[in-house]
Amino acid sequence: MDDYLEQILHLIEAKGYARAVDISRNLGISQASVTNMLQRLDGEGLVKHEKYRGTVLTEEGQRIAQAIIERHETLTRFLRLFDLDE
Protein backbone atom coordinates (compact mmCIF):
# COMPACT_ATOMS: atom_id res chain seq x y z
CA MET A 1 0.00 0.00 0.00
CA ASP A 2 2.83 2.40 0.86
CA ASP A 3 4.40 2.15 -2.59
CA TYR A 4 1.07 2.89 -4.27
CA LEU A 5 0.31 5.97 -2.16
CA GLU A 6 3.84 7.29 -2.61
CA GLN A 7 3.71 6.74 -6.36
CA ILE A 8 0.29 8.38 -6.68
CA LEU A 9 1.57 11.46 -4.84
CA HIS A 10 4.69 11.66 -7.03
CA LEU A 11 2.61 11.36 -10.21
CA ILE A 12 0.13 14.00 -9.07
CA GLU A 13 2.98 16.36 -8.22
CA ALA A 14 4.65 15.73 -11.60
CA LYS A 15 1.63 15.54 -13.93
CA GLY A 16 -1.36 16.76 -11.95
CA TYR A 17 -2.99 13.33 -12.10
CA ALA A 18 -2.24 9.65 -11.56
CA ARG A 19 -3.37 6.96 -13.98
CA ALA A 20 -3.31 3.23 -13.34
CA VAL A 21 -1.11 2.69 -16.41
CA ASP A 22 1.52 5.11 -15.05
CA ILE A 23 1.45 3.55 -11.57
CA SER A 24 1.76 0.11 -13.18
CA ARG A 25 4.74 1.13 -15.30
CA ASN A 26 6.56 2.93 -12.47
CA LEU A 27 6.11 0.11 -9.95
CA GLY A 28 6.60 -2.74 -12.43
CA ILE A 29 3.26 -4.28 -11.46
CA SER A 30 0.45 -5.47 -13.73
CA GLN A 31 -2.29 -2.99 -14.47
CA ALA A 32 -4.87 -5.44 -13.10
CA SER A 33 -3.05 -5.53 -9.75
CA VAL A 34 -2.89 -1.74 -9.68
CA THR A 35 -6.61 -1.46 -10.43
CA ASN A 36 -7.42 -3.90 -7.62
CA MET A 37 -5.31 -1.92 -5.15
CA LEU A 38 -6.83 1.39 -6.28
CA GLN A 39 -10.29 -0.03 -5.64
CA ARG A 40 -9.16 -1.17 -2.18
CA LEU A 41 -7.61 2.23 -1.39
CA ASP A 42 -10.81 3.90 -2.60
CA GLY A 43 -12.83 1.66 -0.28
CA GLU A 44 -10.57 2.65 2.61
CA GLY A 45 -11.10 6.33 1.83
CA LEU A 46 -7.48 7.04 0.88
CA VAL A 47 -8.03 7.78 -2.81
CA LYS A 48 -10.82 8.69 -5.18
CA HIS A 49 -10.49 6.40 -8.18
CA GLU A 50 -12.62 6.85 -11.26
CA LYS A 51 -12.16 4.46 -14.13
CA TYR A 52 -10.78 6.25 -17.21
CA ARG A 53 -10.48 9.53 -15.26
CA GLY A 54 -7.57 8.91 -12.92
CA THR A 55 -6.90 8.81 -9.22
CA VAL A 56 -6.51 11.53 -6.63
CA LEU A 57 -5.58 11.29 -2.97
CA THR A 58 -8.10 12.15 -0.30
CA GLU A 59 -6.95 14.39 2.54
CA GLU A 60 -6.17 11.30 4.64
CA GLY A 61 -4.40 9.63 1.70
CA GLN A 62 -2.31 12.76 1.19
CA ARG A 63 -1.35 12.81 4.87
CA ILE A 64 -0.29 9.16 4.83
CA ALA A 65 1.61 9.51 1.52
CA GLN A 66 3.55 12.50 2.91
CA ALA A 67 4.43 10.51 6.05
CA ILE A 68 5.67 7.61 3.90
CA ILE A 69 7.88 9.92 1.85
CA GLU A 70 9.27 11.56 4.99
CA ARG A 71 10.03 8.12 6.45
CA HIS A 72 11.86 7.07 3.27
CA GLU A 73 13.86 10.31 3.23
CA THR A 74 14.82 9.85 6.90
CA LEU A 75 15.93 6.28 6.25
CA THR A 76 17.96 7.38 3.21
CA ARG A 77 19.73 10.08 5.24
CA PHE A 78 20.44 7.55 8.00
CA LEU A 79 21.95 5.05 5.56
CA ARG A 80 24.11 7.76 4.01
CA LEU A 81 25.54 8.53 7.46
CA PHE A 82 27.00 5.05 7.42
CA ASP A 83 27.81 5.20 3.70
CA LEU A 84 25.51 2.26 3.00
CA ASP A 85 23.73 1.65 -0.27
CA GLU A 86 20.06 2.51 -0.31
DSSP letters spanning 11-69: HHHHHS-B-HHHHHHHHT--HHHHHHHHHHHHHTTSEEEETTTEEEE-HHHHHHHHHHH
For residues 17 and 86, which has the higher predicted lDDT (pLDDT)?
17
The answer to whether residue 20 is domain-embedded is yes
Average pLDDT, stretch 54-73?
Answer: 94
Q: For the chain, what is the domain count?
A: 1
Contact 41, 4 (CB under 8 A): yes
Contact 7, 27 (CB under 8 A): yes
Q: What confidence tens digit (pLDDT) does each residue in 28-60 have?
A: 999 999 999 999 999 999 999 888 888 999 999
Residue 68 is part of which domain span? 2-81
Q: What is the mean pLDDT of the chain?
A: 91
> Taking Cα atoms as reference points, which of 61, 82, 86 lies closest to residue 72?
86
Q: Is the pTM above the cut of 0.85?
A: no
State the pLDDT at residue 5: 96
The answer to whether residue 17 is domain-embedded is yes
CATH of the domain at 72: 1.10.10.10
The answer to whether residue 86 is domain-embedded is no
